Amino acid sequence: MANITSDMVKKLRDATQAGMMDCKKALVETDGDFDQAKDYLRKKGILKADKVSGRETAEGLVYSYIHHNDKLGVLLELNCVTDFVARMEEFKELAHKIALQLAAMGARFISREHVPQEIIDKEKEIYTEQMKDSGKPANIIERIVESKLESFYKDNCLIEQEYVFESGKTINDLLVELIAKTGENIKISRFVRWQVGESEN
């Protein structure tokens, strides 16, 4: 397997304007082949999704899900550009899938861009403290800390979580698939998850 470097990811991002995460995944999936990675992004609809990502999403729906035991509930706002897409069955199905994900896995943030800097700094501080007696060189510790931070994002950021009902697919992948199909920008604006007896963070 090819060693995917940050320079390779940056080159693909510059060429396609796709997100860093998507570019890295495309290179991993194509064993570092630049042209195949571009084709991968196109086939997955990611290039189309990024092209419409700046469009205002003033339409959408508020979706509610109550678990069968009546002790856990989710309220989610999912937005799109037009009311036509908001009324599509596939759009409602996507809202349902995301609500089920939140019920099953929870999430603290929508994406890594929503994580406050003070929380990132605190996590880094904890990881660095954990490694201080390891005897490893500073550059290795730095890489380990960054790796742990990536794991933190995947656990706590909704769009980076693996979809509970389909291994290897993230919530972001679900969004991108429907964006590619509709040609409209779709985004998760906010959510809350309540569980009986669970205190707020």
What's the pLDDT at 158?
A: 96
Taking the mean position of all CA atoms in its chain, how far away is CA 15? 22
Number of domains in the chain: 3
Do 103 and 131 belong together in one domain?
no
Least confident stretch, 5-19, 64-78, 117-131, 147-161: 5-19
The CATH code of the domain that includes 135 is 1.10.286
Tell me the torsion sign for CA atoms 135, 137, 143, 149.
positive
What stretch of H or E contains 129? helix 117-131
Tell me 53's DSSP state: T
Question: For residue 43, is it within any domain?
Answer: yes
Do 13 and 34 belong together in one domain?
yes
Do 21 and 107 belong together in one domain?
no
Tell me 163's DSSP state: P
Each residue's pLDDT tens digit, 17-30? 676 777 888 898 89
Do 73 and 103 belong together in one domain?
yes
The CATH code of the domain that includes 40 is 1.10.8.10
What's the pLDDT at 76?
A: 96
The structure's pTM equals 0.70
**First vs last C-alpha separation in the chain:** 41
Each residue's pLDDT tens digit, 42-99? 777 665 555 555 567 789 999 999 988 899 999 999 999 889 999 999 999 999 999 9
Residue 129, domain extent: 116-155
The token duo for 93 is 């199905």
Do 104 and 29 belong together in one domain?
no
Compute the distance between CA of residue 23 and CA of residue 172 in angstroms, rounded to an integer: 13
Do 92 and 162 belong together in one domain?
yes
